[in-house]
């Protein structure tokens, strides 16, 4: 099957992967764009898994200011070398992550950062809600487990749908850049500031008002 240059370019624009990788994925998928995109995503995740043990002592701190200066974000993203830290792909990722954090309000980088206290509180809330419906305990625990997965997807940065392409998670976006640059990349930390809110995410003087 002939793989046209225009189709390769379309996949390149959609995935951000190198042209030769896009062509190889299209050949493997027999010209199916969605299939080729899935192949590239899977390869990116595999590369990320292989690189995950590599030390990340370089990187960059990115910033983003939104809504006329009412929302500001700082995010630290690490990689293995200063060379990659200075590439357009890495710098673009840092910028995109800062913008995503401004829009999506994550509370944690990943689920392993969620404290035991928060886990207990969330589970108890979901457990009480499920019990109020009269469900048996075994069903209640399954409901709690399902709601916790949704909690992670809503509040953990790496599991959130990416704002620029909700079909991808932030983890998949990071994995795609890892595949392109060949280095481990890790989002270390972030801070999101909203005018009039304190560190706990509450409006100053608003008592227990939620964010």
Please tell me the number of Cα atoms within 13 Å of 172 on its side-chain side: 20
Do 109 and 63 share a structural domain? yes
Do 25 and 86 share a structural domain? no
Do 101 and 27 share a structural domain? no
Do 191 and 102 share a structural domain? yes
Do 38 and 11 share a structural domain? yes
Q: Which residues pair with 61 in a beta bridge?
A: 76
What's the mean pLDDT in 124-132? 93
What's the mean pLDDT in 65-85? 94
What's the mean pLDDT in 70-83? 96
Contact 178, 47 (CB under 8 A): yes
Q: Is pTM beyond 0.95 here?
A: no
Tell whether the model's pLDDT for residue 209 goes beyond 50: no
Question: Which has more confidence, 11 or 60?
Answer: 60
Say how far apart CA 71 and CA 164 lie, in whole Å.
Answer: 18
pLDDT at 76: 97
What's the mean pLDDT in 74-80? 96
Do 119 and 142 share a structural domain? yes
pLDDT tier at 16, thresholds 50, 70, 90? low
What's the mean pLDDT in 55-82? 93
Number of separate domains in the chain? 3
pLDDT at 197: 85
pLDDT tier at 93, thresholds 50, 70, 90? very high
Tell whether the model's pLDDT for residue 84 goes beyond 80: yes
Look up the CATH number of the domain holding residue 37: 1.10.8.10
pLDDT at 202: 41
Could you report the per-residue pLDDT of 133-156, keeping only the tens digit for each?
A: 998 888 999 999 999 999 999 999
């Amino acid at each position: 099957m002939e793989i046209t240059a225009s189709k390769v370019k379309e996949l390149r624009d959609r995935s951000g992967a190198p042209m030769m990788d896009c062509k190889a994925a299209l050949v493997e998928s027999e010209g199916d764009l969605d299939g080729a995109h899935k192949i590239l995503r899977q390869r990116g995740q595999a590369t990320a898994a292989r690189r995950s043990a590599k030390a990340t002592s370089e990187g960059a701190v990115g910033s983003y200011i939104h809504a006329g200066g009412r929302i500001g974000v700082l995010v630290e993203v690490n990689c293995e070398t200063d060379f990659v830290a200075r590439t357009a792909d890495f710098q673009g990722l840092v910028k995109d992550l800062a913008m995503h954090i401004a829009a999506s309000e994550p509370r944690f980088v990943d689920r392993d950062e969620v404290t035991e206290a928060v886990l207990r509180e969330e589970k108890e809330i979901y457990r009480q809600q499920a019990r109020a419906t009269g469900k048996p305990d075994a069903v209640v625990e399954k409901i709690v487990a399902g709601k916790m997965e949704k909690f992670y997807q809503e509040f953990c940065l790496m599991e959130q749908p990416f704002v620029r392409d909700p079909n991808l998670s932030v983890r998949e976006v990071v994995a795609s850049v890892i595949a392109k640059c060949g280095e481990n990349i890790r989002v270390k930390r972030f801070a999101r500031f909203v005018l009039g809110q304190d560190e706990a995410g509450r409006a100053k003087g608003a008592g227990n008002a939620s964010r």
